[in-house]
Chains A and B, each alone.
Chain A
Amino acid sequence: MPADTDTESQQPLQEFLAEREEVLRTWSTGAEVDLEEGIAYQLSIPPSRRFTRVLAEADREQRVLVQPRAGVALVDEHIALLRHLQGEADLLPTTIDAYTRQNQYAEAQKGIDRSLQAGRSVLNGFPAVNHGLRQCRRVVEAVNRPVQVRHGTPDARLLAEITLAAGFTSFEGGGISYNIPYAKKVPLERSIRDWQYVDRLVGLYEERGVRINREPFGPLTGSLVPPFISHTVGILEGLLALEQGVRCLTLGYGQLGNLVQDVAAVQSLRELAEEFFRLRGFEDFQLTTVFHQWMGGFPEDEPKAFAVISWGGAVSALSRATKVIVKTPHEASGIPTAEANLQGIKATRQIVSMLADQVFADESRLAAEVDLIKSEVRHLLKAVLDLGQGSVAEGAVRAFQAGVLDVPFAPSIHNAGKLMPIRDNQGAIRVLDPARVPLPADVADFHRERIQERARFEGRKPSYHMLIDDIYAVSKGRLVGRPR
């Protein structure tokens, strides 16, 4: 049974250090990184700018923290953006551009140069690797909130080296959640392996008294992903991180839109993670949750977008998530201006504060939905772990190969893409066809029955058309994609 230090799944330290040397040579700015210096710098950061501290306090006080996404090409502009947001935000991001996410640093450089010329950002995020450690440090020092790296990078080894040494105190992602939704051909073995490196690095900081928060990306494709799929992936990534020495984890979930399902999802996520972490022999960890406001297609009309944002804020408060990631009124159109971003944060903060003292009341329906998700996740996780014969990493790889884990609408060729989700008559995500994903027989029947109920109501058969109507529904002003 794996214990708190898991030597079996860890690379020998000497090998890890040799690999580090190679990683740091993959782009010129890697040369600036010195682990000892990075640790010393991290130790000098005051608690008010440490993710783990702010999360722990909020968790204790049952407060929901508010965090935006944000990133532009140039350093001074990025600093100005974060400063514009920090008054209303509890936690800050640095969202990384898409070239850096694919390790295309030469392309990112072109984007930096073009942004300089154009006088506006032509990149969709902050190219942290190209800017390098010293410039990244200017970012974390320019603000008075903790800053997290948010991205979507299958191989984030160099990005982690640079940003952690620079003083970022949280790092989003994982070997599954930053591959399957974000890549096309990267083998899962490869990305899991590269994320074990990242987690090992975080573990080394932890050993030296520097606690870095890690956050697996819960929403996956943000497109009708049933909670049992995203929970299973999140818990697997949590286990993979714990094995490498990570101790502070925030597990995530993307809002789906049905109130009961969403509240149940956040509650069950936390309880299931506790359960499985302990079951696998881990006792010493700090666990929190993050709720992402609706991650699918948004309405273009800004007042309508505010409604979606506020509803997400409301549910984050009712579900007692530790933090909420906010969207903006520009979501359907493009990267938000600083002003639009701030508006999303303000709308969210208002509703979260108004609901701070209220609890979700429909106890019996909530309990039933929590039980449902728990039985699904236990069944699925057992199947995955059995496939791995003791190894979490191998279990995950084999599960995707076999279609036992299957994420709707994912671009990766290593994902089966056969599971078919559809909303039920009240908008909860159910599965019409689980394909190769194992669900207990009574649970699979329940899902189909709920979809049949909708089909009867709409007078049509459940089909691909219904699924497509669901994909467009929120952007067109509803939750359930009714026939047009």
Chain B
Amino acid sequence: MGPDTIVLGVVGADCHAVGNKILERVFSDQGFRVVNLGVMVSQDEFIDAAIETNARAILVSSLYGQGELDCEGLRERCLERGLEDVILYVGGNLVIGKNDPALTEQKFRQMGYDRVFRPDSDLAEAARALHEDIRQRFHALPVA
């Protein structure tokens, strides 16, 4: 079995590219096959790519503050389009302004994201969490 495929990109009208380039590198180094859609990615582009590549997870970044608007509804859209199990991660400067990170996390968890990352997150740790989440959701065989 080859490496797990993940789709990566920056959602909405957001042009912040630096973190995206680093995320591609780190997640590749950590053993994923990364399909990087770059910046300014629509929800449907994420989903198209995930379907096409049979991806286990979609990693959404939003830096520019309008993430609240752009990230809403992605989980529902995934379900609509038949992506029932896909893991959704989101990270960055997700809302406008300096806010309590716990509230932001809660808001995005409620939208259906499995994990929510702050800008200064340790990326190696995030990659480990993703391996573990994928193992649990897709590879954990029922005990016979």
- Which residues of A does B touch, CB under 8 Å? 97-99, 101-102, 104, 107, 110-111, 114, 120-124, 152, 181-184, 221, 223, 297, 300, 330, 332-337, 340, 409-411, 413, 464, 468, 471, 475
Within 8 A of A (CB), among B17-38: 17-18, 20-22, 25, 38
Among A122, A223, A340, point to the contact of B69 (Cβ < 8 A).
Answer: A122
Q: Are B96 and A121 in contact (CB under 8 A)?
A: yes
**Minimum distance in angstroms from A385 CB to a CB of chain B:** 28
- Which residues of B does A touch, CB under 8 Å? 12-18, 20-22, 25, 38-40, 64-66, 68-69, 93, 95-99, 119-120
Residue of B20, B21, B98, B99 with highest tally of chain A CB at under 10 A: B98
Q: Are B64 and A124 in contact (CB under 8 A)?
A: yes
Residue of B14, B38, B95, B96 with highest tally of chain A CB at under 10 A: B96
**Minimum distance in angstroms from A214 CB to a CB of chain B:** 22
21 A-B pairs in the complex with CB atoms less than 8 angstroms apart: A97-B66, A98-B66, A114-B69, A124-B66, A183-B15, A183-B40, A184-B15, A221-B18, A297-B18, A300-B120, A330-B97, A333-B93, A333-B98, A334-B95, A334-B97, A334-B98, A335-B97, A336-B97, A411-B17, A411-B20, A471-B22
Provide the residues of chain A in CB contact with B40, threshold 8 Å.
102, 183-184, 411
Please name the residue on chain B nearest to A475 by beta carbon. B120
Provide the residues of chain B in CB contact with A97, threshold 8 Å.
66
Provide the residues of chain B in CB contact with A184, threshold 8 Å.
15, 38-40
Q: Are A152 and B69 in contact (CB under 8 A)?
A: no
Main secondary structure of the interface of A (DSSP, over half): loop
Provide the residues of chain A in CB contact with B13, threshold 8 Å.
98-99, 101-102, 104, 107
Provide the residues of chain B in CB contact with A410, threshold 8 Å.
17
Provide the residues of chain B in CB contact with A101, threshold 8 Å.
13
Given contacts A330-B98, A333-B93, contact A409 B17 (CB under 8 A): yes
Provide the residues of chain A in CB contact with B25, threshold 8 Å.
464, 468
Please name the residue on chain A nearest to B22 by beta carbon. A468
**Minimum distance in angstroms from A475 CB to a CB of chain B:** 8
Q: Are B65 and A124 in contact (CB under 8 A)?
A: yes
Provide the residues of chain A in CB contact with B17, threshold 8 Å.
221, 409-411
What's the Cα separation between A33 and B12 when bound, in Å?
30
